[in-house]
Amino acid sequence: MANEMDNIEKSLREANALMDEAFESQKLLGELDQCRIDRIVKAMVDAGYENAGKLARMAVEESRIGVVEDKIVKNVFATRNLYDYIKDMKTAGIIAEDQEKGVIEIAAPMGVVVGLIPTTNPTSTVLYKAIISIKSRNAIVISPHPRSVKCCIEAARIMEEAAVSAGAPKGIIKCMTQCTKEATDALMQHPKASIILATGGSAMVKAAYSSGTPAYGVGPGNVPAFIERSADIADAVDKIFKSKTFDNGTICASEQAIIAETAIAEKVIAEVVRQGGHFVTGADQEALEKTVIQPGGGVNPKVVGQSPKTIAELAGIKIPEGTRVICAALKGVGREYPLSAEKLCPVLSFYVVNDWEAGCKRCIELLNYGGLGHTMVIHSNNDAIIREFGLKKPVFRILVNTPSSQGAIGYTTGLAPALTLGCGTWGGSITSDNVSPLHLINRKRIAYHRTVESEKTNHLKANYVYTMAEILKAIDMN
């Protein structure tokens, strides 16, 4: 108990020291112009890209989650792909000018960002959050998950060294080394914290929104993938599997359920099996349910980011060699059907529905059971049905004929490249966007006087004077 208290005390001291340092450094960073900021960001991007492999290996070794090769892709995405999108983005000085309306917009940094990092995507999230913070002239203090502290420290070190070498002040990117819940709470509630970027579990995101500091949070994803009868079935299953097996399903936008129409269900099932899916039934399905989902709800941390082979061993069941995804056919959604919830691993539930209208309803049920506001995907070549899904689904990313993990983050779609995906008010978030540097700036506006004369305004003025005259007359009469 004494050691635990000592650790908490050390972590609290570190949190305060890092916030103080970042606060002072940000004052200097906030004075830099767009050209100097862009030079710093480019140096950070290059350093992150060059260390993508090293950081990926560190992340898997420390967290025991995911696949090295896929984490390399994530690190490249969080640097090079992100940079291609933001390199010409205006985030300093005058960023917009409307001469007709007489309004000028000026970007102002928010201050110090508190970046909460998940163990599922640790180094890529550090790279991404550090880059968008500096691009918007903010400092950042990072709080890693306890299972991925070392790799996050190294990612933050690489980012700050690159930034400082290109002209940023020291102390602009810092990372906690003593990780406790108390220290994370202290960071979020710190008077010098300006904004929180919270990526992680629901409890952590809720704590961020309850801290009293403005926050961007990410809700859970329970992504349904609907295969409509006009879809290319082989292509649909291929993309779903590429998404679900990517880093062993750790991205919250990965598919959690396949919904297929009765008219094509047999073909879909055959294609799932052909591409490496294995359906469990009976006792094996019950064992899988108990292993993947905890008794009180929520995914079992032991299966997060693990391979199908490891998950099967934990469940005590046998699956064919080479199984890519474990599947379970379900008839409903909710607590009585544990595998209908979010599963951050290569496990999919499977549903058969009569038609696209029934598929639409089933998708909504799944989204209501832990995925509101996040993402869904539809595989279809019927544009009318695609648009109906877009109109009716309570999510902010309706992806079409693309892998959901890669599509939602902007890798295989035109969405903004991001590893923080807002779920809007439906998902308890303040934004429905993929978070970019533009979410980390305040906008000042210079607004010039406009002389507006028209018959309508003159009529209003006449009425106004007449009304005042009446009032004055009434006063005199009294």
Rounded to 5 degrees, what are φ and ψ at 29? Answer: -60, -35
**Taking Cα atoms as reference points, which of 83, 55, 84, 85 lies closest to residue 71?**
55
SS3 state at 420: coil
252 carries an active-site annotation:
yes
Q: Which of 151, 252, 360, 363 is catalytic?
A: 252
Residue 145 carries which DSSP code? -
Burial of 1 (0-12, 13-18, 19+ CB in 10 A): exposed
- Contact yes or no for 417/410 (Cβ under 8 A): yes
Cα 92 from chain centre: 25
SS3 state at 347: strand
**Taking Cα atoms as reference points, which of 367, 418, 403, 371 lies closest to residue 125?**
418
- Contact yes or no for 367/399 (Cβ under 8 A): no
Burial of 273 (0-12, 13-18, 19+ CB in 10 A): middle
**Whole-angstrom Cα Rg for the chain:** 26
Q: What angle do CA 469, 474, 478 make, to 5 degrees?
A: 145
- Give me the active site residues, please: 252
